[in-house]
């Protein structure tokens, strides 16, 4: 940034005083949004006349029946493109397969062992249609819930798209989750169909998936069919009349399937995410609005073009995989890379090898991965040709300036803009992000709201915070890809997101704006941790711990971690006859891994004689956090049930 005005503005910022990076002229002139003037003009229209703005965007998709009204809004209930009918899968697949993109690569897939597959849009249409026919033949109907538990293989994309095609509601469960997590999701969603695989490859080893499903189905008996894709060839048992191999099922079906139109508000998927209670919530997304949101954000924020090779490194088990591997990029007719395995297999140069081999131009990853690459050293990057890259993205947690600068310099060669994208499972699509060809970017800020997003920072009284003042991030107007409900629990939906300020969505994040209006996200205000960009509820981990026979009580907090962003720290009180031991510590860590999944395994596990509680019995996690992070507690502790506990815990932590 070089103008005098901008320099003056920067000086007036109390914090943080980072230099802003401007996109190159070369990038800007070709970009859809080439200047801040263009951004502001369109942003103004999107806020002043949202119906006009969103009708134009949605109009670029194909509708089997046009909507009558763009929005029906009675907070917190939104209906977008009311009366319209569309098939989401047709928009992502047939629309391209039946036109000039027929032989364009939709997915360039690479397995961890190095096997490769290129799937064109025409092939994608055939594969997805065949899976849709299999599902219908087996009796899966529109509105049925289908649980998908798969590795990052093309069949996972086919499965999701096939569900969308027949109007079934997919619920993808991250392949790293344990069998209890599957049971919870099956119970809550009432799914009767499971699509899985024998296993997937991760760091050179087979991660078995079907056996985990089998374990879950011992507890949940209502699943009528399990369809299994063959990937790794590990031994699996198939239950007669319930389980079938996908490749066998596919033999008997045709590759023709006509996509029926569904109501714009027809449920598209459920995705479970952590909140402040022990039970993950099923975030419900619907069709027309969600597709419009993911399509539009991809188009402007990734400035996606036919000649691009886009790669989002997320897993389909997370919202990023839903919105920015499946629906957004495919709705745009993009060519994208999909990779099965770990970033460090066989070593930390794998991602850069993939970028080089496939000529990746747009690369979207998480800060935790970037920090791991920094640690692995620049040499692993430098031996690869990354000159095709033109745009980088970041998602999942605040990106620290050190990681931003390294990403910009070492990966982006100093020439690629970085879009730091803030959003949530609930928002469905990116909400705050730079426009890559326009926005001045300071490392660490997601910058400005996307079109149609009326974001603000409020204090506890509901007053808008002044520049650089910390407050709560809210969205004041509805947007197309917004959460419609928590599945089966409208009350919890209202209570969680809509009670703090009338008619406004509370994101649960703390944030501030600088004088240029940039949003700086500080982190979660609730009891949700962000470990390696993944959301974990402290209550979930606590309830897993107390489910162990040795544990009487547990408290879980987050502490800063160099690579993961946050690490899981817990305090455990043992039941009477149980004694502390290293063995028990490991057992408890593994127990959490077994119940929730390896990502939730506590990093620190302290055996404690008690917890800091108020006289009414509430655990003061805030004090534990302070203690773990600073080694002491500064505030008044006399209101605690047992004020001496702080000193005892401090000793334990210091050990």
Shortest Cβ 301–ligand WTA spacing (Å): 12
- How far is Cα 618 from Cα 622, in angstroms, rounded to an integer? 11
The one among 509, 514, 516, 626 contacting ligand WTA by CB under 6 A: 509
Q: Which is nearer to ligand WTA, 199 or 533 (CB)?
A: 533
Stretch that binds ligand WTA, among 61-69, 290-298, 458-466, 501-509 (CB under 6 A): 501-509
- How far is Cα 608 from Cα 457, in angstroms, rounded to an integer? 38
- How far is Cα 443 from Cα 520, in angstroms, rounded to an integer? 10
Please classify residue 277 by burial: count the beta carbons closer than 10 Å to its beta carbon, then call 0-12 exposed, 13-18 middle and 19+ buried.
Answer: middle
Stretch that binds ligand WTA, among 146-154, 215-223, 255-263, 507-515 (CB under 6 A): 507-515
* By the rule CB under 6 A, 297 interacts with ligand WTA: no
The one among 120, 424, 481, 518 contacting ligand WTA by CB under 6 A: 424
- The alpha carbon of 452 is separated from its chain's Cα centroid by a whole number of angstroms, namely 21
Q: Which is nearer to ligand WTA, 300 or 571 (CB)?
A: 300
Stretch that binds ligand WTA, among 123-131, 314-322, 457-465, 571-579 (CB under 6 A): 314-322
- How far is Cα 429 from Cα 100, in angstroms, rounded to an integer? 27
Shortest Cβ 317–ligand WTA spacing (Å): 11
Stretch that binds ligand WTA, among 95-103, 202-210, 304-312, 419-427 (CB under 6 A): 419-427
* By the rule CB under 6 A, 320 interacts with ligand WTA: yes
* By the rule CB under 6 A, 264 interacts with ligand WTA: no
Shortest Cβ 167–ligand WTA spacing (Å): 25
Q: Which is nearer to ligand WTA, 261 or 523 (CB)?
A: 523
Shortest Cβ 427–ligand WTA spacing (Å): 8
The one among 120, 196, 421, 566 contacting ligand WTA by CB under 6 A: 421
CB 174, CB 317: distance < 8 Å: yes
In terms of residues, how long is the chain?
655
Question: Phi then psi for 191, rounded to 5 degrees?
Answer: -70, 145
Task: Respond yes or no on whether the N-terminal peptide bond of residue 75 is cis (omega within 30° of 0).
Answer: no
Stretch that binds ligand WTA, among 167-175, 313-321, 354-362, 590-598 (CB under 6 A): 313-321
The one among 179, 193, 273, 485 contacting ligand WTA by CB under 6 A: 273
The secondary structure of residue 226, as a DSSP letter, is E
Q: Which is nearer to ligand WTA, 189 or 424 (CB)?
A: 424
Residue 645 parent element (H or E): helix 645-654
Helix axes 582-595, 179-189, angle to 10 degrees: 30
The one among 57, 243, 308, 397 contacting ligand WTA by CB under 6 A: 397
* By the rule CB under 6 A, 176 interacts with ligand WTA: no
Shortest Cβ 509–ligand WTA spacing (Å): 5
The one among 93, 446, 557, 570 contacting ligand WTA by CB under 6 A: 446
How far are the Cα atoms of 262, 382, 390, 392 from residue 387, in angstroms, in the given order?
Answer: 43, 11, 8, 12
Q: Which is nearer to ligand WTA, 496 or 530 (CB)?
A: 530
240-249: Cβ within 8 A, 24+ apart: 246/131, 246/134, 246/155, 246/195, 249/134, 249/137, 249/138
- How far is Cα 567 from Cα 585, in angstroms, rounded to an integer? 16
Shortest Cβ 205–ligand WTA spacing (Å): 26
CB 219, CB 141: distance < 8 Å: no
* By the rule CB under 6 A, 395 interacts with ligand WTA: yes
Closest to 294 (Cα-Cα) out of 166, 429, 170:
429
- The alpha carbon of 541 is separated from its chain's Cα centroid by a whole number of angstroms, namely 19
* By the rule CB under 6 A, 34 interacts with ligand WTA: no
Shortest Cβ 394–ligand WTA spacing (Å): 6
* By the rule CB under 6 A, 429 interacts with ligand WTA: no
- How far is Cα 36 from Cα 55, in angstroms, rounded to an integer? 23
- How far is Cα 17 from Cα 164, in angstroms, rounded to an integer? 46
* By the rule CB under 6 A, 396 interacts with ligand WTA: yes
β 565-574/604-607 pair status:
parallel
Shortest Cβ 445–ligand WTA spacing (Å): 9
- How far is Cα 266 from Cα 83, in angstroms, rounded to an integer? 11
Q: Which is nearer to ligand WTA, 76 or 444 (CB)?
A: 444
Q: Which is nearer to ligand WTA, 158 or 318 (CB)?
A: 318
CB neighbours of residue 237 within 10 Å: 8
Residue nearest to ligand WTA (CB): 425
Q: Which is nearer to ligand WTA, 340 or 397 (CB)?
A: 397
Shortest Cβ 73–ligand WTA spacing (Å): 23
Closest to 316 (Cα-Cα) out of 336, 302, 332, 301:
336
Shortest Cβ 233–ligand WTA spacing (Å): 32
Q: Which is nearer to ligand WTA, 289 or 398 (CB)?
A: 398
Closest to 423 (Cα-Cα) out of 326, 533, 550:
533
- How far is Cα 68 from Cα 373, in angstroms, rounded to an integer? 50
The one among 135, 319, 608, 645 contacting ligand WTA by CB under 6 A: 319
Stretch that binds ligand WTA, among 59-67, 201-209, 416-424, 591-599 (CB under 6 A): 416-424
Shortest Cβ 357–ligand WTA spacing (Å): 27
Binding to ligand WTA, residues 533-562 (CB under 6 A): 535
How far are the Cα atoms of 165, 305, 512 from residue 91, in angstroms, in the given order?
Answer: 10, 17, 38
- How far is Cα 637 from Cα 626, in angstroms, rounded to an integer? 12
* By the rule CB under 6 A, 524 interacts with ligand WTA: yes
Binding site residues, ligand WTA, CB under 6 A: 273, 318-320, 395-398, 420-425, 446, 507-509, 521, 523-524, 530, 535
């Amino acid at each position: 940034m070089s103008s005098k005005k901008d320099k003056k503005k920067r000086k007036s910022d109390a914090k943080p005083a980072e230099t802003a990076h401007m996109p190159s002229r070369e990038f800007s002139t070709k970009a859809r949004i080439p200047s801040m003037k263009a951004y502001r003009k369109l942003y103004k229209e999107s806020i002043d006349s949202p119906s006009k703005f969103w009708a134009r965007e949605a109009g670029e998709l194909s509708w089997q029946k046009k909507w009558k009204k763009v929005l029906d809004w009675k907070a917190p209930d939104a209906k977008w493109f009311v009366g319209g009918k569309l098939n989401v899968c047709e928009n992502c697949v047939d629309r391209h397969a039946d036109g000039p993109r027929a032989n364009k690569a939709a997915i360039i897939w690479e397995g961890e062992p190095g096997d490769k597959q290129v799937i064109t849009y025409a092939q994608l249409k055939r594969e997805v249609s065949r899976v849709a026919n299999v599902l219908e033949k087996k009796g899966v109907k529109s509105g049925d819930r289908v649980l998908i538990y798969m590795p990052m293989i093309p069949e996972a994309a086919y499965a999701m798209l096939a569900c969308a095609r027949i109007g079934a509601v997919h619920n993808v469960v991250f392949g790293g989750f344990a069998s209890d997590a599957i049971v919870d999701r099956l119970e809550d969603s009432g799914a009767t169909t499971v699509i899985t695989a024998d296993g997937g490859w991760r760091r050179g080893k087979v991660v078995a998936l079907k056996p985990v499903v089998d374990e879950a189905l011992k507890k949940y008996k209502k699943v009528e069919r399990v369809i299994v894709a063959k990937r790794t060839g590990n031994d699996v048992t198939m239950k007669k009349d319930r389980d079938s191999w996908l490749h066998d099922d596919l033999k008997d079906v045709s590759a023709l399937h006509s996509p029926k139109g569904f109501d714009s508000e027809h449920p598209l998927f459920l995705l479970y995410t952590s909140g402040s209670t022990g039970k993950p919530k099923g975030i419900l997304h619907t069709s027309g609005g969600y597709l419009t949101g993911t399509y539009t954000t991809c188009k402007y924020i990734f400035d996606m073009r036919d000649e691009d090779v886009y790669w989002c490194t997320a897993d389909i088990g997370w919202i990023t995989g839903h919105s920015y591997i499946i629906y957004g990029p495919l709705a745009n007719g993009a060519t994208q890379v999909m990779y099965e395995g770990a970033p460090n297999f066989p070593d930390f140069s794998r991602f850069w090898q993939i970028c080089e081999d496939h000529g990746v131009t747009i690369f979207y990853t998480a800060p935790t991965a970037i920090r791991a690459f920094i640690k692995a050293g620049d040499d692993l990057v430098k031996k690869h040709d990354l000159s095709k890259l033109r745009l980088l993205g970041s998602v999942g947690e605040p990106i620290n300036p050190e990681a931003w600068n390294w990403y910009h310099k070492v990966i982006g060669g100093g020439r690629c803009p970085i879009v730091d994208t803030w959003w949530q499972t609930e928002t469905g699509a990116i909400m705050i992000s730079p426009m890559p060809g326009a926005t001045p970017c300071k490392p660490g800020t997601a910058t400005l709201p996307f079109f149609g997003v009326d974001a603000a920072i409020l204090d506890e009284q509901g007053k808008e915070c002044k520049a650089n003042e910390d407050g709560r991030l809210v969205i004041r107007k509805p947007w197309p890809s917004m959460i419609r409900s928590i599945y089966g629990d409208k009350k919890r939906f209202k209570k969680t997101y809509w009670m703090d300020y009338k008619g406004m969505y509370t994101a649960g994040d703390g944030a501030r704006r600088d004088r240029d209006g940039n949003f700086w996200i500080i982190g979660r205000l609730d009891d949700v941790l962000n470990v390696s960009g993944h959301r974990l509820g402290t209550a979930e981990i606590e309830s897993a711990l107390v489910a162990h026979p040795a544990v009487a009580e547990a408290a879980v907090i987050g502490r800063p971690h160099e690579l993961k962003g946050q690490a899981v720290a817990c305090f455990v009180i043992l039941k009477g006859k149980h004694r502390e031991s290293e063995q028990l510590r490991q057992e408890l860590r593994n127990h959490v891994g077994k119940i929730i999944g390896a990502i939730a395994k506590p990093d620190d596990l302290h055996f404690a004689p008690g917890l800091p509680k108020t006289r009414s019995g509430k655990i003061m996690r805030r004090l534990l956090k302070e203690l773990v992070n600073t080694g002491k507690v500064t505030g008044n502790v006399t209101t605690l049930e047992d004020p001496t506990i702080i000193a005892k815990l401090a000793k334990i932590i210091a050990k």
